[in-house]
Amino acid sequence: MESQRHPEAAAQPRARRVSHWWPLVSGSLALGLAVGLGFLIVVRDQGMPLPIDTRWFREVSANRAPGWDTLALTMDALGGGLIATVLLPAGIAIALLLGRRPWAAGFYLVASTVTGGVVQVLKHFFGRARPENILTYLDFGSFPSGHVANAAATTAVLAILFPRVWVWAAGAVYTVVMMMSRTYLGAHWLTDTVGALLLGIGVAAVLWAPVAAKLDGERTLVGQRRSRRKAVGAV
Protein backbone atom coordinates (compact mmCIF):
# COMPACT_ATOMS: atom_id res chain seq x y z
CA MET A 1 0.00 0.00 0.00
CA GLU A 2 2.83 2.38 0.79
CA SER A 3 4.34 1.96 -2.68
CA GLN A 4 0.93 2.64 -4.24
CA ARG A 5 0.63 5.96 -2.42
CA HIS A 6 4.21 6.90 -3.25
CA PRO A 7 5.35 5.56 -6.67
CA GLU A 8 8.96 6.52 -6.00
CA ALA A 9 9.06 3.85 -3.29
CA ALA A 10 8.77 1.25 -6.06
CA ALA A 11 11.43 2.86 -8.25
CA GLN A 12 14.69 1.16 -9.08
CA PRO A 13 17.80 2.61 -7.37
CA ARG A 14 19.13 3.86 -10.69
CA ALA A 15 15.93 5.87 -11.23
CA ARG A 16 16.38 7.56 -7.87
CA ARG A 17 19.93 8.48 -8.85
CA VAL A 18 18.63 10.10 -12.06
CA SER A 19 17.12 12.93 -10.06
CA HIS A 20 20.46 13.86 -8.58
CA TRP A 21 22.36 15.61 -11.34
CA TRP A 22 23.02 14.16 -14.78
CA PRO A 23 19.69 14.94 -16.54
CA LEU A 24 19.91 18.48 -15.24
CA VAL A 25 23.47 18.82 -16.49
CA SER A 26 22.90 17.19 -19.88
CA GLY A 27 19.55 18.91 -20.41
CA SER A 28 20.92 22.30 -19.41
CA LEU A 29 23.89 21.75 -21.75
CA ALA A 30 21.53 20.99 -24.65
CA LEU A 31 19.48 24.10 -23.90
CA GLY A 32 22.64 26.17 -23.64
CA LEU A 33 23.85 24.90 -27.01
CA ALA A 34 20.49 25.73 -28.60
CA VAL A 35 20.51 29.28 -27.26
CA GLY A 36 24.21 29.65 -28.10
CA LEU A 37 23.51 28.61 -31.69
CA GLY A 38 20.82 31.24 -31.87
CA PHE A 39 23.23 33.93 -30.63
CA LEU A 40 25.85 32.77 -33.15
CA ILE A 41 23.36 33.14 -35.97
CA VAL A 42 22.19 36.58 -34.85
CA VAL A 43 25.71 37.93 -34.21
CA ARG A 44 26.92 36.67 -37.58
CA ASP A 45 25.38 38.88 -40.26
CA GLN A 46 22.16 39.68 -38.40
CA GLY A 47 20.69 36.23 -38.76
CA MET A 48 21.68 35.56 -42.35
CA PRO A 49 22.08 31.85 -43.19
CA LEU A 50 25.33 30.10 -42.42
CA PRO A 51 27.20 28.46 -45.32
CA ILE A 52 25.83 25.05 -44.34
CA ASP A 53 22.31 26.49 -44.42
CA THR A 54 22.62 27.81 -47.96
CA ARG A 55 24.27 24.65 -49.28
CA TRP A 56 21.61 22.42 -47.74
CA PHE A 57 18.77 24.65 -48.93
CA ARG A 58 20.05 24.64 -52.52
CA GLU A 59 20.31 20.84 -52.40
CA VAL A 60 16.79 20.18 -51.14
CA SER A 61 15.26 22.87 -53.34
CA ALA A 62 16.83 21.32 -56.43
CA ASN A 63 15.23 17.97 -55.63
CA ARG A 64 11.64 19.05 -55.07
CA ALA A 65 9.02 16.77 -56.63
CA PRO A 66 5.27 16.18 -56.16
CA GLY A 67 5.78 13.03 -54.11
CA TRP A 68 8.20 14.72 -51.72
CA ASP A 69 5.87 17.73 -51.54
CA THR A 70 3.06 15.47 -50.30
CA LEU A 71 5.24 13.85 -47.63
CA ALA A 72 6.60 17.19 -46.43
CA LEU A 73 3.16 18.79 -46.26
CA THR A 74 1.84 15.78 -44.36
CA MET A 75 4.61 16.22 -41.79
CA ASP A 76 3.78 19.92 -41.71
CA ALA A 77 0.19 19.09 -40.72
CA LEU A 78 1.22 16.45 -38.17
CA GLY A 79 3.79 18.68 -36.47
CA GLY A 80 1.79 21.88 -36.12
CA GLY A 81 -1.63 23.43 -35.84
CA LEU A 82 -4.55 21.69 -34.15
CA ILE A 83 -3.04 18.21 -34.45
CA ALA A 84 0.23 19.00 -32.65
CA THR A 85 -1.11 21.49 -30.11
CA VAL A 86 -4.38 19.83 -29.10
CA LEU A 87 -5.19 16.43 -30.60
CA LEU A 88 -1.82 14.70 -30.17
CA PRO A 89 -1.14 15.93 -26.60
CA ALA A 90 -4.70 15.12 -25.53
CA GLY A 91 -4.56 11.66 -27.12
CA ILE A 92 -1.24 10.75 -25.51
CA ALA A 93 -2.28 12.13 -22.11
CA ILE A 94 -5.61 10.27 -22.17
CA ALA A 95 -3.87 7.02 -23.18
CA LEU A 96 -1.44 7.39 -20.27
CA LEU A 97 -4.25 8.14 -17.83
CA LEU A 98 -6.19 5.11 -19.02
CA GLY A 99 -3.01 3.12 -18.44
CA ARG A 100 -3.03 4.40 -14.85
CA ARG A 101 0.07 6.53 -15.30
CA PRO A 102 -0.94 10.03 -14.15
CA TRP A 103 2.64 11.12 -13.41
CA ALA A 104 3.60 10.15 -16.97
CA ALA A 105 0.64 12.10 -18.40
CA GLY A 106 1.57 15.17 -16.38
CA PHE A 107 5.22 14.90 -17.38
CA TYR A 108 4.32 14.73 -21.05
CA LEU A 109 1.89 17.66 -20.93
CA VAL A 110 4.30 19.88 -19.01
CA ALA A 111 7.20 19.04 -21.35
CA SER A 112 5.05 19.73 -24.40
CA THR A 113 3.77 23.04 -23.02
CA VAL A 114 7.17 24.26 -21.85
CA THR A 115 8.78 23.35 -25.18
CA GLY A 116 6.16 25.32 -27.10
CA GLY A 117 6.55 28.30 -24.81
CA VAL A 118 10.34 28.39 -25.04
CA VAL A 119 10.16 28.10 -28.84
CA GLN A 120 7.94 31.16 -29.06
CA VAL A 121 10.17 33.17 -26.72
CA LEU A 122 13.28 32.35 -28.76
CA LYS A 123 11.53 33.03 -32.08
CA HIS A 124 10.68 36.55 -31.00
CA PHE A 125 13.98 37.12 -29.23
CA PHE A 126 16.19 36.14 -32.18
CA GLY A 127 13.80 37.25 -34.95
CA ARG A 128 15.56 35.31 -37.68
CA ALA A 129 14.08 35.64 -41.16
CA ARG A 130 12.82 32.52 -42.88
CA PRO A 131 14.10 31.29 -46.26
CA GLU A 132 12.41 32.43 -49.46
CA ASN A 133 10.28 30.24 -51.71
CA ILE A 134 8.33 28.70 -48.82
CA LEU A 135 5.82 26.00 -49.72
CA THR A 136 3.57 26.39 -46.66
CA TYR A 137 1.94 29.10 -44.52
CA LEU A 138 3.95 30.21 -41.50
CA ASP A 139 4.10 32.75 -38.69
CA PHE A 140 7.03 34.96 -37.74
CA GLY A 141 10.44 33.67 -36.73
CA SER A 142 12.63 30.97 -38.20
CA PHE A 143 14.81 29.99 -35.21
CA PRO A 144 14.07 27.52 -33.72
CA SER A 145 11.64 25.22 -35.53
CA GLY A 146 8.54 24.59 -33.43
CA HIS A 147 7.68 21.46 -35.41
CA VAL A 148 11.09 19.89 -34.75
CA ALA A 149 11.23 20.97 -31.11
CA ASN A 150 7.84 19.38 -30.50
CA ALA A 151 8.87 16.18 -32.29
CA ALA A 152 12.14 15.96 -30.34
CA ALA A 153 10.47 16.61 -26.97
CA THR A 154 7.73 14.07 -27.67
CA THR A 155 10.28 11.47 -28.75
CA ALA A 156 12.44 12.06 -25.67
CA VAL A 157 9.47 11.89 -23.29
CA LEU A 158 8.04 8.70 -24.83
CA ALA A 159 11.49 7.09 -24.82
CA ILE A 160 11.80 7.92 -21.12
CA LEU A 161 8.34 6.56 -20.34
CA PHE A 162 8.73 3.47 -22.53
CA PRO A 163 12.46 2.57 -22.55
CA ARG A 164 12.43 0.29 -25.57
CA VAL A 165 14.77 0.31 -28.56
CA TRP A 166 11.88 0.47 -31.02
CA VAL A 167 10.48 3.57 -29.30
CA TRP A 168 13.84 5.33 -29.62
CA ALA A 169 14.21 4.19 -33.23
CA ALA A 170 10.70 5.22 -34.29
CA GLY A 171 11.02 8.56 -32.55
CA ALA A 172 14.41 9.24 -34.09
CA VAL A 173 13.11 8.49 -37.58
CA TYR A 174 10.08 10.73 -37.02
CA THR A 175 12.22 13.59 -35.74
CA VAL A 176 14.77 13.36 -38.57
CA VAL A 177 12.01 13.23 -41.20
CA MET A 178 10.43 16.28 -39.55
CA MET A 179 13.77 18.12 -39.71
CA MET A 180 14.19 17.29 -43.39
CA SER A 181 10.60 18.22 -44.22
CA ARG A 182 10.94 21.67 -42.61
CA THR A 183 13.99 22.51 -44.68
CA TYR A 184 12.47 20.94 -47.81
CA LEU A 185 9.43 23.22 -47.54
CA GLY A 186 11.66 26.24 -47.07
CA ALA A 187 10.10 26.83 -43.67
CA HIS A 188 13.44 26.76 -41.85
CA TRP A 189 17.16 26.81 -42.34
CA LEU A 190 19.02 23.65 -41.36
CA THR A 191 20.46 25.29 -38.24
CA ASP A 192 16.92 26.18 -37.11
CA THR A 193 16.11 22.48 -36.95
CA VAL A 194 19.36 21.59 -35.17
CA GLY A 195 18.67 24.22 -32.52
CA ALA A 196 15.12 22.91 -32.14
CA LEU A 197 16.37 19.34 -31.73
CA LEU A 198 18.65 20.40 -28.88
CA LEU A 199 15.86 22.45 -27.34
CA GLY A 200 13.27 19.66 -27.32
CA ILE A 201 15.66 17.10 -25.86
CA GLY A 202 16.98 19.60 -23.32
CA VAL A 203 13.54 20.52 -22.00
CA ALA A 204 12.55 16.85 -21.64
CA ALA A 205 15.76 15.98 -19.81
CA VAL A 206 15.58 18.89 -17.37
CA LEU A 207 11.93 18.20 -16.52
CA TRP A 208 12.61 14.47 -16.17
CA ALA A 209 15.09 14.88 -13.32
CA PRO A 210 12.70 15.82 -10.48
CA VAL A 211 10.14 13.13 -11.37
CA ALA A 212 12.39 10.28 -12.55
CA ALA A 213 11.79 8.10 -9.48
CA LYS A 214 8.04 8.68 -9.58
CA LEU A 215 7.85 7.77 -13.27
CA ASP A 216 9.91 4.61 -12.80
CA GLY A 217 7.94 3.56 -9.72
CA GLU A 218 4.67 4.20 -11.48
CA ARG A 219 5.77 2.02 -14.41
CA THR A 220 6.84 -0.71 -11.99
CA LEU A 221 3.49 -0.66 -10.18
CA VAL A 222 1.56 -0.86 -13.46
CA GLY A 223 3.67 -3.85 -14.50
CA GLN A 224 3.02 -5.55 -11.15
CA ARG A 225 -0.74 -5.06 -11.49
CA ARG A 226 -0.68 -6.55 -14.98
CA SER A 227 1.33 -9.54 -13.75
CA ARG A 228 -1.18 -10.16 -10.94
CA ARG A 229 -4.11 -10.01 -13.36
CA LYS A 230 -2.41 -12.49 -15.69
CA ALA A 231 -1.68 -14.80 -12.75
CA VAL A 232 -5.30 -14.65 -11.61
CA GLY A 233 -6.53 -15.28 -15.13
CA ALA A 234 -4.28 -18.31 -15.47
CA VAL A 235 -5.68 -19.94 -12.33
CATH number for position 60:
1.20.144
- Tell me the pTM: 0.86
Taking only the tens place, the pLDDT of each residue in 104-129 is 999 999 999 999 999 999 999 998 98
Q: Pick the more confident residue, 230 or 31.
A: 31
Taking only the tens place, the pLDDT of each residue in 1-52 is 344 456 655 455 555 555 557 788 889 999 999 999 999 998 877 778 899 9
Q: Is residue 173 part of a domain?
A: yes
Distance of CA 42 to the CA centre of its chain: 24
Q: Is residue 227 part of a domain?
A: no
pLDDT for 48 equals: 85
Q: Is residue 154 part of a domain?
A: yes
Q: What is the DSSP string of the chain?
A: -HHHH-GGGGS-HHHHHHTTSHHHHHHHHHHHHHHHHHHHHHHTGGGPPPHHHHHHHHHHHHT--HHHHHHHHHHHHHTSHHIIIIIHHHHHHHHHHHTT-HHHHHHHHHHHHHHHHHHHHHHHHH-PPPPSS-SS---S--SS-HHHHHHHHHHHHHHHHS--HHHHHHHHHHHHHHHHHHHHTTSS-HHHHHHHHHHHHHHHHHHHGGGHHHHHHHHHHHHHHHHHHHHHHH-
pLDDT tops 60 at residue 63: yes
Q: Is residue 233 part of a domain?
A: no
Number of domains in the chain: 1
Q: Is residue 226 part of a domain?
A: no
Residues in the chain: 235
Q: Is residue 54 part of a domain?
A: yes
Q: Pick the more confident residue, 194 or 127.
A: 194
Q: Is residue 228 part of a domain?
A: no
State the residue range of the domain holding 57.
12-219
Q: Is residue 194 part of a domain?
A: yes
